[in-house]
Structure 1
Amino acid sequence: MSQTTAFIEAGKRTVAIESQAVSALQARIDQQFVKACEIILACQGRVIVTGMGKSGHIGGKMAATFASTGTPAFFVHPGEASHGDLGMVTKNDVVIAISNSGSSAEVLTLIPLFKRMQINIISMTGNPNSPLAQAADVNLDISIKEEACPLDLAPTSSTTVTLVMGDALAVALLEARGFTKEEFAFSHPGGALGRRLLIRASDLMHSGTELPKVSPDSLLSSALVEMTRTGFGMTTIVDSNDQLIGVFTDGDLRRNVDQGINLATATMAQVMNKKPKAIKASLLAAEALNVMEQRKITALVVEDDNNHPVGLLHMHDILRAGIV
């Protein structure tokens, strides 16, 4: 067997073993899972996740997922907890203790202390008869038939199953809380997710004197001067009550030239687009970008509830803001 073939076979075997282990979790989303969700949902404090070794690494990710989806949580290393970090835990918290064997000494050392504080303990173990599982209020079964490691030593399938069980909890709780996109964005303000979910048209639009405006009886030549002044390749047309009644763009100019319109005498009422697309200032910039792409335009008029144009949002502004 060539080395290339051996690599491929090992990779495929690993994926198959871990996939089977994850599939077996379906039957374990049962009343114990429901009870764990109810305990966390009723928690007045935070979810404290703890685990040793590879379980600890998975626990750290689990806590991060909880925290970003509406369930306040953080990871506490069991070794550090025994040397002062236990002070971060309060009686209002809930503990998720992870140990595949259910016998990790560092984790078991903490159990009597949690019990003394009358904290609910949710264990995640591969052995329901283990000391940790027996001590917990709820035990979630993360047992596996085999590790993907051919030596059956390195945590592989077991850590994958633990991670998926944690995700299952997080998603179930997210839905139970009615967690929204906006709430998710507030915990991710620095990344692309936050920009897409937090930035609205009002944050990026050009307003005041930057907004091009002409009246319907304005000559086309005057409109071109206004378009040149603002540099957006378009202008709004408003009536005597400052209500939006049309727009005129560079594209409209080309079409009218092709039709042989008299550029010297034409008015906006004759050449404007009488069905302009306008958006509200509260619309997400990402949604405004979708509108532009669908209509194949580069700018949108922003109007208030009385149909008064209050701003102009250009595609370049959205792209510069990193919303893609």
Structure 2
Amino acid sequence: MTAHAHPGDASRADRALALARETFDIESAAVLGLKDRVGEAFARTVELVLGLQGRVVVMGMGKSGHVGRKIAATLASTGTPAMFVHPGEASHGDLGMVTQTDLVLMISNSGESQEMAAILPVLKRLGVPLVAMTGNGSSTMAQHADLWIDSAVAKEACPLNLAPTASTTAQLAMGDALAVALLDARGFRAEDFARSHPGGALGRKLLTLVSDVMRIGDAVPKVAPTATFSELMREMSAKGLGATSVVDVQGQVLGIFTDGDLRRWVEQGVDLRAKTAQEVMHASPCTISIHALAVDAADLMEARRITSVLVLDDTGTLCGALNSNDLMRAKVI
């Protein structure tokens, strides 16, 4: 059965696209409008948070609550201990999660949330610093807070000017700005971010060590310098690394022989059958420490345009090997 387009379909599509573009205009204007109003209260909030012994406790109702959960998660993942507490649940016991060492960040566009107003007296008696992120500086929340961060917007993107749209986008942007300012002040690094995201791609890159992915024991191809060319090739084929190390009796690396070396010797027309490993190896090969990050091994391979690298322990003795396929399997590259 073939579906037929109705005359009104085109006009609905045009209106949908027009509203989408208008939404982008309104929300981008709302965020950019924050630039001229962010000031001393924001900077003082950063200083207060940096001096905390406890956590940032984020609170908000409805859509502001959803934004608050995201802000708390962003703070926590960028070096600032934070948690979200639902204001409604706070009145029924969850307020016990807030301690005197914490700071409470209250989020509400109107600043007149009944649930927030109900717990304000308790928070004031507790003596925790209160920061209100609202769109109304005359609101109950703003007036009772120690600091007011202005997140007002000219209008919502909703055609009825009712549904929280531009206002929640502004709150989200202000929360991100706070997180960015704090992580910069703390000297937060990519390695710190990776430690709180061990399951992600960045975590794998920055937390995975060479020792986690390298081949060890009998899986490491190695021959003595006196090994015949035939023995060398058998070791390469058996271990599947595309290369073999050449080591002395103490396990010190003398050189390496790779598939690329084989092609170069063949192109020169040399009779390799009479050669020993020491005669055909490439001396002073690239090596990496067992304690290095796997991503450093990947960078080394890319910089030297090689596909495998030998791994040394603290004494400089061969203890492992890995190639680009090992790094790909570990999802480091």
Q: TM-score range by the shorter chain?
A: over 0.9
- Cα shift readout 1:240-283 (whole Å, capped 9, x = no counterpart): 65432321112211221222221221122332222422222232
Query: Which range moves more in the overlay, 199-208 or 211-220?
Result: 211-220
Q: How does 1:197-236 map to 2 (within 5 A)?
A: 197-236=206-245
The one-letter code of the counterpart of 2:246 is: I
Aligned pairs, how many?
324
CA distance in structure 2 between the partners assigned to 1:33 and 1:216 by the alignment = 67
1:288 lines up with 2:297 in the alignment: yes
Query: Which range moves more in the overlay, 234-243 or 80-89?
Result: 234-243
The one-letter code of the counterpart of 1:15 is: F
1:136 lines up with 2:145 in the alignment: yes
Q: Is the 8 A contact 1:243 1:306 kept in 2?
A: no
CA distance in structure 1 between the partners assigned to 2:276 and 2:14 by the alignment = 74
The one of 302, 314, 323 equivalent to 1:314 is 323
1:173 lines up with 2:177 in the alignment: no
CA distance in structure 2 between the partners assigned to 1:202 and 1:69 by the alignment = 27
Q: Is the 8 A contact 2:38 2:150 kept in 1?
A: no
Give the match's secondary structure for 1:292.
helix
Q: Is the 8 A contact 1:289 1:318 kept in 2?
A: yes
Structure 2 spans left out of the alignment, 5+ residues: 1-9
Q: How does 1:260-271 map to 2 (within 5 A)?
A: 260-271=269-280
1:116 lines up with 2:138 in the alignment: no
State the Cα distance separating 1:295 from its structure 2 match: 3.9
- Cα shift readout 1:177-225 (whole Å, capped 9, x = no counterpart): 1222232222212232321221111111112332222233332222112
Aligned equivalent of 1:86: 95
What is the root-mean-square deviation in Å for CA atoms of aligned residues?
1.8
Provide the TM-score with structure 2 as the length reference.
Answer: 0.91
The one of 196, 203, 216 equivalent to 1:194 is 203
Q: Is the 8 A contact 2:241 2:322 kept in 1?
A: no
1:18 lines up with 2:30 in the alignment: no
The one-letter code of the counterpart of 1:164 is: A
State the Cα distance separating 1:289 from its structure 2 match: 2.4
Give the match's secondary structure for 2:322.
strand
Provide the TM-score with structure 1 as the length reference.
Answer: 0.94
Aligned equivalent of 2:194: 185
- Cα shift readout 1:83-126 (whole Å, capped 9, x = no counterpart): 11111111111100001111111111111111111000011000
Q: Percent identity?
A: 51
State the Cα distance separating 1:157 from its structure 2 match: 0.8
Q: Is the 8 A contact 1:44 1:93 kept in 2?
A: yes
The one of 96, 104, 114 equivalent to 1:105 is 114
